[in-house]
Structure 1
Amino acid sequence: MRTAAADPGPSAPPLPWPAVLTTERQILRPVERADVPAVTRLWTDPEVRRHLGGPVAASVVRIRQRRCVGARGVFVAARAEDGAVAGLVTIGWDAGRGEREVSYQFLPEHWGRGYAREAVTAAVDWALAASPTVIAVTQEANTRSRRLLEAVGLAHVESFVEWDAHQVLYRTPG
């Protein structure tokens, strides 16, 4: 997955913020200062960043650390049972396409347990309350992400090359 711009453009219908979304096992909420170490792991873990261009440079991480707390459309996916951060889900704005975009990253210890699917479904449903469609872009090679997007109801609509890698665009029906 690539990271959607968290700040929607002027033509984006407004979404209420801050927002808290709940699923069966998670709470999606704005990033808090205490979440920054876990979120930093998402940006620097080579396994998480495998299909995202690799770990983020330290200088960029420092900027992101200052800007992520409370950032519009950026949700921490925290396990309801213990508050542990499982991942990050962003609903942003793709200015080039003029559509809302979902992006997500989850820590490897939470992979394969359905947390990403639950969280992405909740975030997409939230975004669809104000937008006719939601898109997502992932690398063609990222088969796990592609399966997740299809499982939450997005359909493959386009393939292209960007950042020297084959990408696929998914969109909700609408």
Structure 2
Amino acid sequence: MDEKTISATWPATLTTPRLLVRPAESDDASDFRPLWTDTAVRKYLGGPVDEQKLPAYERALGRLLYVFSVIETSESSFVGTVHVDASSSFAGRREISYSFLPAHWGRGYAREAVSVVLAWAFDAVPSEDPTIIAVTQEANARSCRMLEALGMTKIDSFIKFDAPQAMYEARRPA
């Protein structure tokens, strides 16, 4: 894949022309905290994480599989995260999720990072299912557009957390 490094092992470090996508570390907790507490970031994710749960999130951060910190390389700044759940609550299917800091929205970082992690995950994250899914609230138009721009296809709509959700599916590129 041009200008992208894809590794079939974990931990994996991936690169794009503008981003370093590396395994999240315990020391990243202060960067992740706004992703868990910012109302704009959490608008379509059930709201901010309860303050009392944050220490547990922080302790677990460096031990979780397939959780990436996304770093913008020219500024060496943390911009967000991408995660692949190897066995999501949707019939054990691989699920990709992401969140990015509002100061970095609209720059294409999410699309770039999710794209490289998605390509990597087809080989690196074991599954009997040949697809990878993503779920977002239907009201999150920006997320829906990004998933469609990545070539993902909407395959389902359902209500969860009292809101209409859209499930998208990616198939391994031919």
Task: Using structure 2 for the length normalisation, give the TM-score.
Answer: 0.87
Deviation at 1:127, TM superposition (A): 0.8
Counterpart CA distance in 1 for 2:123 and 2:26 is 28
1:26 aligns with 2:56: no
Counterpart CA distance in 1 for 2:47 and 2:161 is 12
Counterpart CA distance in 2 for 1:136 and 1:95 is 12
Whether contact under 8 Å (1:26, 1:79) holds in the other structure is yes
Equivalenced residue count is 160
Q: Which runs of 5+ in 1 are unaligned?
A: 1-14
Identify the residue that residue 35 of structure 1 maps to in structure 2: 28
Counterpart CA distance in 1 for 2:49 and 2:9 is 29
1:97 aligns with 2:91: yes
Deviation at 1:70, TM superposition (A): 4.3
2:93 maps to a residue whose letter is E
Task: Using structure 1 for the length normalisation, give the TM-score.
Answer: 0.87
Deviation at 1:172, TM superposition (A): 0.8
Task: Give the counterpart of 1:136 among 134, 137, 146.
Answer: 134
Root-mean-square deviation (CA, aligned residues, Å) is 1.4
Identify the residue that residue 75 of structure 1 maps to in structure 2: 68
Question: 3-state DSSP class of the match of 1:94?
Answer: coil
1:50 aligns with 2:43: yes
Whether contact under 8 Å (2:26, 2:59) holds in the other structure is no
Partner deviation per Cα, 1:98-149 (whole Å, 9 max, x = no partner): 2110000000000000000000001110111255211000001000000110
Question: 3-state DSSP class of the match of 1:153?
Answer: coil
1:113 maps to a residue whose letter is R
Deviation at 1:33, TM superposition (A): 3.2
Question: 3-state DSSP class of the match of 1:51?
Answer: coil
Deviation at 1:34, TM superposition (A): 3.1
Identify the residue that residue 112 of structure 2 maps to in structure 1: 118
Whether contact under 8 Å (1:155, 1:173) holds in the other structure is no
Question: 3-state DSSP class of the match of 2:62?
Answer: coil
Kindly indicate whether structure 1 or structure 2 has the higher relative contact order, using CA contacts under 8 Å at least 6 residues apart.
1
Cα separation, partners in 2 of 1:133 and 1:159, compared to 1, 3 Å: same
Identify the residue that residue 158 of structure 2 maps to in structure 1: 160
Identify the residue that residue 145 of structure 2 maps to in structure 1: 147
Identity of counterpart residues, as a percentage?
46
Deviation at 1:96, TM superposition (A): 3.4
